[in-house]
Amino acid sequence: MKAKTFLSNIREKLSKENEKILNHGFILDAEKGRLSLEKIKLFIVQQHYIVNHDMKSLAIMLSRSKDEDEEEFFYFLVTGDREAFIRLKALAKELNIKEFNSIIPEAVSYTHYLSWLANYANAGEQAAALVVNIPVWGGACKKLGEALRKNYGIKSLGFFELFSMPSNIEEMALKVMEKYIDEYESTMERCIKLIQAYELMFWDGIYR
């Protein structure tokens, strides 16, 4: 599959950038137990904004699906984000977060880009961006969730567990990408690079 080779190559190109996310100072501080509770709450507030809007963008992608492969992929993501939002609210309740208006523009720029993808990109570009981004996000969630359990005694960590669970997202995404790769390879690469840049901006935004 041409899409599989493309995906492998782009991940290699972005390996250094992805390592910046997986080993971000925010995560490293949590692993060392020196991340403040206020920073943890700030993470939750930004994610409350992001996931709530991501669900709507993914629903738009689903509504624009042209065949069963696209429907399967985007439906999986919509339902996953819905479950993530439920689990995130449980985490916010445990930490007694009642105000969700402290939004950092840099940190939430990711969801605004996802909205652009939903409305203006094709399914191949969308799938390419998401299949590169989500595993990196999941790896970061796994590390952060483990640190919050170990060092902070936080119990409602289903949000992190959900994103770090293995899935067949790559198999589904490749089916979608393969139909677009010949015509849209260059724009698929651009979408991938942009979404990873926005992902890093999230971590930088909440860490500063």
Q: What is the mean pLDDT of residues 37-47?
A: 98
Q: pLDDT band for 144, please (50, 70, 90 cuts).
A: very high
Q: How many DSSP H helices and E strands does the chain contain? A: 10, 0
Q: Dump pLDDT digits (tens) for 60-85.
A: 999 999 999 999 999 999 999 999 99
User: pTM of the entire structure?
Assistant: 0.97
SS3 of the chain: helix, strand, coil, percent, to 5? 80, 0, 20
Q: Where are the domains of the chain?
A: 2-7+30-207
Predicted confidence at residue 148, as pLDDT, reads: 98
User: Is the distance from CB of 20 to CB of 141 less than 8 angstroms?
Assistant: no
Predicted confidence at residue 52, as pLDDT, reads: 98
Q: pLDDT band for 167, please (50, 70, 90 cuts).
A: confident
The CATH superfamily label for domain 2-7+30-207 reads: Heme oxygenase-like (1.20.910.10)
